[in-house]
Homo-oligomer: A and B are copies of this chain.
Amino acid sequence: MDNSDIILKLAEGDVRTIAKTLTLVENESEGSKELLAHMPFDRKVPIIGITGPPGAGKSSVVNACITKLMEQDKKVAVLAVDPSSPFNYGSLLGDRVRMEAHFNNENVFIRSVASRGHLGGLSTRIYEMADVLRNAHFDYIFIETVGVGQSEVEIAGIADITVVVLVPEAGDDVQAMKSGVMEIADVFVVNKSDREGAGRFASTLKTLIHTQDRNVEVISAVAIKSEGIDELLLEIDKLHQNNGLDEKKVHLLAHRTWSLLSAQLMKRFQYEEVVNELKGAMQQTNFNIYRYIQNKLQ
Contact = CB atoms under 8 A, between A and B. Distances in A.
A274 interface: yes
Interface in A245-294: 245, 249-251, 253-254, 256-258, 260-262, 264-266, 268-269, 271, 274-275, 278-279, 282-283, 285-294
A-side interface mostly: helix
Interface stretch (A16-24, A32-40, A81-89, A186-194): A32-40
Contact of A290 (B33, B278, B283): B33
A297 interface: yes
Interface residues of A, number: 54
A289 B255 CA distance: 12
B37 A261 contact: no
Contact of A40 (B150, B264, B286): B286
A179 interface: yes
A42 B286 CA distance: 5
A232 B265 CA distance: 44
A119 interface: yes
A38 B287 CA distance: 11
A254 B275 contact: yes
Nearest to A269: B261
A238 interface: no
A180 interface: yes
Contacts of A282: 245, 249-250, 253
Nearest to A289: B257
Contacts of A261: 266, 269, 293, 296-297
Nearest to A257: B274
A37 B295 CA distance: 10
B42 A285 contact: yes
A41 interface: yes
B260 A266 contact: no
A41 B278 contact: no
Interface in A194-247: 245
A258 B286 contact: no
